[in-house]
A and B are shown apart, each in its own frame.
Chain A
């Protein structure tokens, strides 16, 4: 079945550091790929998505590119802020199908 392998956390970075959270997947067919973010005490918010190979999703300075050849969808941001502290989930799915989630990566940014 489908699966998502996500970089283990927790990750702690200093403000303005470069961020990469790795995500690789196994899937049949051609799913859409997503990054969701969960701020403390809140539900999941869609951060960005990509629906086909070579698509780049971007939002709030975060980017991720759908790499079919490496089955990856790594999340990057050039300069993180304290407000980016949250748990990040990589997921695959699409249409009316359920989402398959990675284990989540807790990110803490220190001033």
Chain B
């Protein structure tokens, strides 16, 4: 398995501002994923982040809105830019371990006013 931490655990932000979420893993991993969980909804993949290459975004998500960094094999950041109330969600990172299993961080609960 993998132990994943996220910072911050929650935040309340004003519209028009940006928030950077950090994801730290206790072991080196190739693939990291960022998901969004809107209130009462399931999880939707935002992007896949490989170390040393540009993140790959899913349909409906763009780099200008959700820039991602992946500077090494244990760390990644997701920025939510120019926020609006519609961005209020839980943001989760995950990694692949044990060959084919994704493990998730505890999530960052974002509220945009």
Complex CA–CA separation, A104 to B104 (angstroms): 16
Complex CA–CA separation, A45 to B1 (angstroms): 11
Contacts of B43 in A (CB 8 A): 44, 89, 99, 101
Shortest Cβ distance from A86 into chain B, in angstroms? 14
Tell me if B101 and A46 are in contact (CB < 8 A). yes
Contacts of A45 in B (CB 8 A): 104
Q: How many residues of B contact A (CB 8 A)?
A: 23
- In the complex, what residue of chain A is closest to B107 when comparing beta carbons? A43
- Chain B interface mostly helix, strand, loop or mixed? strand
Tell me if A44 and B96 are in contact (CB < 8 A). no
Quick one: which of A87-111 are within 8 Å of B by CB?
89, 93-96, 98-99, 101-104
Determine if B92 is an interface residue (Cβ-Cβ < 8 Å): yes
- In the complex, what residue of chain A is closest to B58 when comparing beta carbons? A98
